[in-house]
């Protein structure tokens, strides 16, 4: 079994693969004070649910955009499985291609998402990754990384709005039934949800124009994409496990 970790600013997603079969996936919060207890417990529960054991793991790979958590997660994985982790970006980038930046300057999450999209979908392609940040990753017809856009994520934008405006409250992340809100919470939810969807639609149009109006495959992943994508006019395909698949592809390529 291959154990994969995607360490983000908000959460740590992880999964276990038997070949191409994702046996389990889950996530815990990226809390440095709790990771040493929360992650082992979540892994143990995940193994139990699928009838597997930590001793079944014969490989581990992780991507991280939180340097303070990289060694901690790698250490937890090694203590449970006995396997040292391959770390994306440290000489382990698999089939990732780019000519625009040195690989060391590209986030490990962007690398994993790019590899997975190039393997799984028709090209050229845009990947919308909606997490702590909202990112649009652009791949050309050969699957090479052309660049990306980065904007504040859904929850980050909502928190900034609340902190910056004295009369605006914290709000739950829900999709309102109408764009035109009739109370403060619905107005804020509309601006965050439908505003993000409209931004994605508009950015896709601009990227499409820069690429000469080539047909594009649109893929969405990340913690907020399941709710946002149905509000878009552009036809995004939702792929919840995209980054985990990317880590598997990178591991398989590196292990050859």
Phi, psi (5° rounding) for residue 6?
A: -120, 105
Cα–Cα distance between 120 and 139 in angstroms, integer?
Answer: 12
Cα–Cα distance between 238 and 120 in angstroms, integer?
Answer: 12
Return the H-helix or E-strand segment holding 115. helix 108-120
Inter-residue contact 241 to 146 (CB < 8 Å): no
**Closest listed residue to residue 159, CA positions, set 150, 149, 172:** 172
Residues near 216 by beta carbon (within 8 Å), at least 6 away in sequence: 124, 125, 126, 204, 207, 208
Catalytic residue at 109?
Answer: yes
Name the E strands within 91-179: 125-130, 133-139, 145-152
SS3 252: helix
C-alpha 231 chain-centroid distance: 19
| Catalytic annotation, pick one of 6, 58, 99, 109 | 109
Q: How many residues does the chain have?
A: 256
CB-CB neighbours of 173 under 10 Å: 14
Cα–Cα distance between 2 and 91 in angstroms, integer?
Answer: 19
- Name the residues annotated as catalytic: 109
């Amino acid at each position: 079994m291959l154990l994969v970790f995607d360490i983000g600013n908000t959460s740590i997603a992880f999964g276990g693969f038997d070949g191409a079969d994702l046996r389990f996936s889950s996530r815990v919060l990226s809390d440095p004070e709790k990771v040493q207890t929360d992650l082992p417990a979540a892994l143990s529960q995940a193994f139990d649910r699928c009838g597997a054991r930590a001793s079944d793991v014969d490989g581990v790979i992780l991507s991280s955009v939180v340097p303070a958590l990289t060694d901690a997660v790698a250490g937890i994985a090694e203590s449970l499985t006995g396997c040292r982790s391959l770390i994306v970006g440290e000489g382990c980038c698999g089939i990732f291609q780019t000519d625009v930046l040195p690989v060391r300057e590209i986030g490990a999450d962007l690398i994993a998402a790019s590899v997975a999209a190039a393997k799984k979908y028709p090209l050229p392609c845009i990947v919308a990754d909606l997490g702590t940040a909202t990112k649009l990753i652009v791949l050309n017809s050969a699957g090479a990384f052309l660049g990306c856009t980065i904007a504040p994520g859904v929850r980050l934008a909502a928190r900034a709005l609340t902190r910056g405006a004295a009369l605006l409250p914290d709000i739950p992340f829900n999709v309102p039934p109408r764009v035109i809100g009739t109370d403060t919470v619905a107005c804020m939810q509309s601006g965050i949800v439908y505003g993000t969807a409209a931004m994605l639609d508009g950015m896709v149009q601009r990227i499409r124009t820069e690429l000469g109006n080539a047909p594009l495959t649109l893929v969405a992943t990340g913690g907020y994409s399941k709710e946002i994508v149905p509000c878009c006019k552009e036809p995004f395909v939702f792929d919840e496990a995209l980054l985990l698949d990317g880590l598997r592809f990178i591991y398989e390529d590196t292990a050859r």
